Amino acid sequence: MSHLIDVSSVLRGTVCDLYSNLVTRPTGAAVRTAIERQVVDIGAPVVTTIDFSQVNLLDFSCADEIVAKLLLRYAETDGLAGFLLFRGIHGEHLDPIETVLERHELALVAWHEGLAELYGCVSEAERWLWELVRDGGPIGAGDASAALGTTADDTEALLEQLFRRRLIMHHDTGYVVPGTLPKAS
């Protein structure tokens, strides 16, 4: 199950009808709280897409309150269930988002021009494996290790690390990037 949350609608519903800018920490906290409430109300683990398409300006404090703190809530052992994706992130949003991702050593999956992209702090090995899963998923540890020339145990450990970071998810026959459709068999 997937769920879409339009950040500008949340902003208008929680803070003010007049703005499409996210520019204070209290505004970011209010938007994040409303998003968390929506995710909790859904109940079942889902893939939630946070859409920034209608947001003009995003400052560092709002990127920290919304993006970083949401990702941290998903990463907690008893945190929000499911997976988080982003879309509608444009060039003006990237600097504050990448800064907070680096500060908290986080990474996220965002859709850009029809393709899932990985942003934030990941090792080179994590990025190669994530791209393999994105491009070839669902894929298991055996096939991934053969493609990368690594051992199945090392690959499985790295796949589980990406899963714990909510950057990939389990699928019947392996792993997929959240929000991607498995290939028809």
Q: Is the pLDDT of residue 152 over 70?
A: yes
Q: pLDDT tens for residues 90-102?
A: 989 999 999 999 9
pLDDT band of residue 130 (cuts 50, 70, 90) is very high
Q: What is the mean pLDDT of residues 121-150?
A: 94
The values of phi and psi at residue 125, to 5°, are: -65, -40
Q: Considering the chain, what is the average pLDDT of its residues? A: 91
pLDDT at 183: 46
Backbone conformation region of residue 179, classed left if phi is above 0, alpha if psi is from -120 to 50, else beta? left
Its pTM stands at: 0.89
Q: pLDDT tens for residues 38-47?
A: 988 988 778 9
The residue length of the chain stands at 185
Cα dist from 120 to 62, 90, 105, 109, 110, whole Å: 17, 15, 7, 9, 11
Q: Is the pLDDT of residue 60 over 80?
A: yes
pLDDT band of residue 18 (cuts 50, 70, 90) is low
